[in-house]
Amino acid sequence: MAEKMNGDESTSWKVASTNFKVYKTKFKVPTDKSSLSIIIAMALVLLSWPLFPGGVAGDEPGAFPQYGAGVIQVRLYTDYFCGPCRSIEPTAEALLRDLVKKQRITLTLVDLPLTRNSVLYARYFLYALNKRNELEHALKVRNFLFETAAAREKSSPERIETAFKNKGIAFASFDPKALFARYNELIKEDGVHSTPTCVIVKTGKKETFIGTDEVIKALKKLP
């Protein structure tokens, strides 16, 4: 099970991951150069591995969570089991909805898996979008999954499917490997290792904002 890492724990979670598994390790940092070189090399290898199970982008169904047609690219990285992500969702949702509606931004919602159940939730988010891929529906499903993750009750496909049906959320299962591959590409391209993180690309310049306060401030400053 993933834990909050050192740093500003009230505003963001950090992750070092190999596929599904997330690790937190406490150790004394050696001072000799050879040991430090080995640790740095191992870290680079870990960070180069995909967070989602393998696949190749392309030829995927129309379930990718990207909305709007604005010239400014906004990529929001969150995890359903991240408390800070859940706390900013209402404010971020209102800001993003308005920016997409005004065609100011192109929004991409990217799931960054931080716990052993994160990939399962990301999978069912895409299943719901596979049935209906519209921004309002995506936000509704995200809210429900955040609430469900907070309750920590539904951590199996059967329980999530029952919860979806009780909530009236339609879904259609499919193999999401191609979409997971797109997630992996974006995560690697943007160098994201914690949530919530917002990456904004405007006039060819990329900026990264980490933590609840920074993400909301960045969204509010968008024209």
Reported as a single tens digit per residue, the pLDDT across 10-47 is: 465 554 333 333 333 343 444 555 444 443 344 433 34
Mean pLDDT of 128-155: 92
Question: What average pLDDT does the segment 165-171 reach?
Answer: 97
**What would the pLDDT profile of 61-98 be if each residue is shown by its tens digit?**
578 999 999 999 999 999 999 999 999 999 999 999 99
Tell me if 158 sits within 8 A of 147, measured CB to CB. Answer: no
Name the token pair of 182.
């797109």
- Residue 11 neighbours by CB distance under 10 Å: 18
Q: Is 110 helix (H, G, I), strand (E, B) or coil?
A: strand
pLDDT at residue 48 greater than cutoff 80: no
Q: Would you place residue 155 in the very low, low, confident or very high pLDDT band (cuts 50, 70, 90)?
A: confident
Residue with tokens 């997971």: 180
Does 53 score more than 80 pLDDT?
no
Per-residue pLDDT band for 152 (boundaries 50, 70, 90) equals confident
The per-residue pLDDT for 151 is 86
Contacts of 30 (CB under 8 A, 6+ apart): 36, 39
The residue ranges of every structural domain in the chain are: 1-223
CATH class of this structure's domain 1-223? alpha beta
Extended beta strands in the chain, E state: 13-14, 17-18, 21-22, 66-67, 72-78, 105-111, 194-195, 197-202, 205-210
Q: What angle do CA 50, 56, 61 make, to 5 degrees?
A: 115
Count other C-beta atoms under 10 Å from residue 162's C-beta. Answer: 12
- Answer with the residue of higher pLDDT: 30 or 106: 106
b/e for 183-197, b at 16 or more Cβ within 10 A?
bbebbeebebbbbbb
- C-alpha distances (whole Å) from 54 to each of 1, 90, 110, 172, 201 are 21, 32, 16, 21, 27
In this structure, which amino acid lies at residue 121? Answer: Y
Q: Global pTM?
A: 0.77
